[in-house]
Structure formats: structure tokens, C-alpha cells
Amino acid sequence: MLILSHISKTFNAGTVNERAALSDFSLHLAPGDFVTIIGSNGAGKSTLFNAICGSFLTDSGSITLDGEDITFMPEFIRAKSIGRLYQDPMRGSAPHMTIEENLALAAGSGGWFSHVSKADKERFRDRLALLEMGLEDRMRQPVGLLSGGQRQALTLLMATFTAPKLLLLDEHTAALDPGTAEKVLKITKDVVEADHITTLMVTHNMQQALELGNRTLMMASGHIVLDVGGAERSAMTTDDLIARFKAGSGKALDNDRIILS
């Protein structure tokens, strides 16, 4: 489904600020894989997502999605096949547009530029009802009036309204309170499983990384230092992850946010 072959990216090359964000990075995701990613700041997680989305061209290597080489494909074309959620719940939706209009754009119904059919409105209501947040009764309200958790749940719905080939979740619950984060994670799991969406999810929570999906990666300095799944992953604890990180990277995990979570 997704094949990253020997990709590298260095920022500010040839200057005192030169930084190798990804170094000869390779990864293969099978269809339906749900992979969680753990790593300290500067490990290359967001750079990896930006490379996949086409925010910049990699210095070397290739990226293949569903059998198509997208290495040099423009970002706006890749966006048709790749859904992405960010840590900031304010991103991903238009605050001055209504819930209905946002969903119409996500569904390709045209939003306020054209008439939204009665059938489309019913589809929107049915999808919103799955969130169990009462948004199906607020479709005419501007998205800017929603809470952060409601906006993030809506953004997830928009990103998966037409199931993407790949879903990228960049710490999409980190800015939410624990109760709301748990609810959004449940919605995430349900949506991904229902549509069998191939997913990469960055998280700072090691327990989440072991419980969600079917595979866990740990990154450091632009490399994968651990790739574990199956029975081995099922038997692992957070202490095991910390120990395996040290063994793979040659240094202790020093991110308090990850350790304390």
C-alpha cells in the first residue's frame, strides 16, 4: 500500500544550521495496517508526514502509494488520496462555514457554491450521529462555535468521508482534555476499522502506541529504531519500549512528555 524506499531529507544543507531530518528511511505498509509511531522531538515524525503528503520533495528515494509512484506528485493532488489530522484542532476545517458546508466540501458536494441536496444532508446527519456529539442537530451552525474536541471529531469525519488510501494522524488528540481525547480515539479506531483504512498515527503516549493498531514504530534522528507487531508487540510493556529504544538508538529516551504519559 505505502512504500517509502531510502528517502532522505536535509534542511539548510551546507549551512551551520544543516539538519538531517530523515536519513535513508525505508518503510512498507500493507493495506489496512494501523501503525503507531513514537519518538522524541526532532526524531523526524512530522518530517516523515510532510514528505508523504508532498509538502516538500525528498532529497533522495521514492514514495509509492497503492502502486503509484507519487515521489514528484504535487501536494494538492496527493491530498485527494491522503487524509491528515494535526495536533491543532483548529486546523482542517473552515470556522466561518457551517458544519453542513464543511462536510459538503469534504464529500465533493460543493458546499455553499452549489445546492446541497436533501440526500446529501441525510448522509451528513447519519455520519454526524455516529460521533454521538449532537452535531447532527447543529448542521447550520458555524464550525468556529464548536469545542476543540468537536472540531477534531468533525475534521476526522471530513478526512474519512470518502475513505482515503492513507490516513495520517499527527498527535491529533494531544491538545484535547483526557475525556475528549479518549472519545476521539474511539471514533478514530471505529472509523479506521470500518473502512479498513491504512493509517499512520504519531502519539506521545506509549500505552496508546501499544494498544492501538497492529504495529508500533519508534523513531530517533530520522531513523526507525524499533518496528514491532504481532505477538511480540502484544506482550510488550511501556518499560519494554523504553529499553528497546535505548538498545536501538544507543541512548536513553529523554522526552519527559512521552515517559510521563
Place of cell 480515539: 185
* Residue 192 pLDDT: 94
* Residue 259 pLDDT: 52
Amino acid at residue number 210: L
* Residue 254 pLDDT: 65
Report the alpha-carbon distance of residue 160 to residue 64 in Å, rounded: 21
Our CA dihedral for 23, 165, 184, 36, rounded to 10 degrees, sits at -30
* Residue 179 pLDDT: 87
* Residue 111 pLDDT: 46
pTM recorded for the entire structure? 0.91
* Residue 117 pLDDT: 85
Q: How far is CA 218 from the centre of its chain?
A: 15
Per-block mean pLDDT, blocks of 10 residues, the chain (261 long): 97 93 96 95 93 97 98 96 93 93 83 70 92 93 94 93 95 89 90 95 92 95 94 94 84 61 53
* Residue 249 pLDDT: 77
* Residue 41 pLDDT: 85
DSSP for 50-119, please give it.
Answer: HHHHTSS--SEEEEEETTEE-TT--HHHHTTTEEEE-SSTTSSS-TTSBHHHHHHHHHTS-GGGSPPPHH
DSSP-assigned beta bridge partners for residue 32: none
* Residue 244 pLDDT: 87
C-alpha cell read off for 240: 519494554
* Residue 245 pLDDT: 83
* Residue 55 pLDDT: 96
**Domains of the chain, start order:** 1-45+59-69+164-180+195-261 (3.40.50.300)
CB of 184 closer than 8 Å to CB of 173: yes
